[in-house]
Amino acid sequence: MKTGKFLLLIITGTLLLHSCSKEINLEQLNQFNQKVLFQYEYINYAWGRQHNGWFADSTGVIYTYNLPTGWNFCNVNETLTEEQMESNISKCVNTGVYYSQNDLFSAYTLFKAAESGSVSDPVHEMCDAGARIYSCFIYNPTDKTYKKVLLKEIGDWKIENNSNAAKNIVKVMESISNELITHQKL
């Protein structure tokens, strides 16, 4: 009787381990090489000051912000230092919403391809709508900077990164936004 239970336990454990093979492994997690992955940002100064959005980090934590003071915007090279990024994150609120590290890692592997994508010329579409900006970041450990990669901007102007990688990353980001809306965090 005990042998049968032990055998059943081994079979169940083996099946359980096999079924989890698509989960992120420690080796993949260590390949993130950066804390901050994405940023969604809404900026509009037409009818009062509006500046809000969210960040996703490599652990799956989603942080939101609304009218932060002392915010660090990217420089002309579209970069932030690690200290500036940490300062921005310190002005955010941990939403308690976590996103799948598997999905984040899948999107992260597309960052370099998105960086190489061609970006459309701006097309004027609206007035006083502001800008909804989807971006990912590529961390450079040598100079400790985050390079912002524009994926999509909509609002007064429409600008799109035409790479398939960028489009796929935006889908993940839209899923995160929907998750935040569902949990009334955005």
Looking at residue 184, what is its pLDDT? Answer: 83
pLDDT along the chain (186 residues), means of 10: 46 41 47 89 94 95 96 98 98 94 92 97 97 98 97 98 98 94 83
Measured distance CA(4)–CA(49) in Å, rounded: 68
Q: Are 50 and 42 in contact (CB under 8 A)?
A: yes
Written as six digits, the tokens of 105 are 């890692």
pTM: 0.83
Which long-range contacts link 65-73 to residues 24+ away (Cβ below 8 Å)? 65/91, 65/92, 65/93, 68/92
Any idea what DSSP says for residue 4? H
Number of C-alpha atoms within 13 angstroms, CB side, residue 84? 15
Residues 6+ apart with CB under 8 A from 167: 161
Q: How far is CA 118 from the centre of its chain?
A: 20
